[in-house]
Amino acid sequence: MSNRKRVLVTGGAGFLGSHLCERLLSDGCDVLCVDNFYSGTKDNVTHLLENPHFELMRHDVTFPLYVEVDEIYNLACPASPIHYQRDPVQTTKTSVHGAINVLGLAKRTKARVFQASTSEVYGDPEVHPQQEGYWGRVNPIGIRSCYDEGKRCAETLFFDYHRQHDLEIKVVRIFNTYGPRMHPNDGRVVSNFIVQALRGEDITIYGDGSQTRSFCYVDDLIDGFVRMMASSKDMTGPVNLGNPGEFTIRELAEAVLKMVGGKSKLVMKPLPQDDPKQRQPDITLAKSVLGWKPQIKLEEGLGRTIDYFRKFVTS
């Protein structure tokens, strides 16, 4: 029998999942990638299919899954508003039923289990920057609620399985992350602005562009995932992972335009309902417990992401 760690990644064919699978393979793990291709695509992992330590399984996590593994990363869930609002009932099912199945699997196999939670659990926050002790301000019945409340309920399930069944859980709250393999059409701000600038189209700022976000480059985030999984048993989280560098959406638009060049204009569109006004992670906990902090500056990360999208837009 091989002594490689057997790691399950749900949502492994998505943007973050595909980078995580790559990282785990390079760390010497056997990786089982499970995905129903709701918002991810096989294209994100085709380059891994020839690796004998990589396996791809089409499966929906709202149904039970019986496999033998040592560690589980639960990433399955559409992450962009366009995708998670397309079938909101399915989004809640994926977060809640998916968490129950993954936790049942972890309970049976005694695997460590990691949850990709989100800064959305803080909603439209009255506390800035957000630290883990803040309980959040979330609308329970709005158009973002399927995602926000689904993720909040998943966190509850993780902590109840931990208290009730002594599971080793690892909950991280991810703040906006960007990089190669974001979907060109999923409406997230970094991919939208880059694709619009490369096509010479108008850059669409929602509202007046004064709302803020903090953008983390994908490689930094994945490094935080792996450190969290390897942390001591009592480190359950939740722990914030993100880049504290905070920018207004207008500043992001200007930065992208400057880097891509071209003659796109900045245009204003209506602000979507419940759009948070500001968001910035307090990463004191991740720094002290995981020895983690982001290394890649916005300009460098945007450069790599622009290079990736250039291939789509110009071919």
Instruction: Check 73, 84, 147, 161 and give the catalytic one.
Output: 147
* Binding letters toward ligand UDP, positions 77-96, x by CB under 6 A: ---xx---------------
Q: Does 108 bind ligand UDP (CB under 6 A)?
A: yes
Range in contact with ligand UDP (rule: CB under 6 A) among 6-14, 51-59, 218-226, 271-279: 271-279
**What type of residue sits at position 166?**
D
**What part of residues 37-76 is at the interface with ligand UDP (CB under 6 A)?**
64-66
Backbone phi and psi for residue 7, each to the nearest 5 degrees, phi listed first: -120, 125
Q: Does 75 bind ligand NAD (CB under 6 A)?
A: yes
H or E segment to which residue 258 belongs:
helix 249-260
Q: Is the peptide bond before 294 cis (omega within 30 degrees of 0)?
A: no
CB atoms inside a 10 Å sphere around CB 64: 11
**Nearest residue to 87 via CA among 116, 62, 112, 114:** 62
How many residues at the interface with ligand NAD, by CB under 6 A? 29
Kindly state the smallest distance separating residue 281's Cβ from ligand UDP, in Å: 12
Angle formed by the axes of helices 145-165 and 88-109, to 10°?
20
CB nearer to ligand NAD: pick between 170 and 264: 170
Q: Helices (H), strands (E): how many in the chain?
A: 9, 13
Active site residue 147: yes
Q: Is the separation of the CB atoms in 246 and 213 below 8 Å?
A: yes
* Residues linked to residue 205 through DSSP beta bridges, in sequence order: 268
Angle formed by the axes of helices 249-260 and 189-199, to 10°?
40
Q: Does 191 bind ligand NAD (CB under 6 A)?
A: no
Separation of alpha carbons 247 and 264, rounded Å? 20
Q: Does 101 bind ligand UDP (CB under 6 A)?
A: yes
Q: Is the peptide bond before 129 cis (omega within 30 degrees of 0)?
A: yes
Q: Does 13 bind ligand NAD (CB under 6 A)?
A: yes
Kindly state the smallest distance separating residue 218's Cβ from ligand NAD, in Å: 8
* Binding letters toward ligand NAD, positions 33-72, x by CB under 6 A: --xxxxxx-------------------xxx----------
Q: Does 213 bind ligand UDP (CB under 6 A)?
A: yes
Residues contributing to the site for ligand UDP (CB under 6 A): 64-66, 80-81, 100-101, 104-105, 107-108, 176, 187-189, 192, 204-206, 211, 213, 249, 271-272, 275
Query: Catalytic residues, which ones?
Result: 147
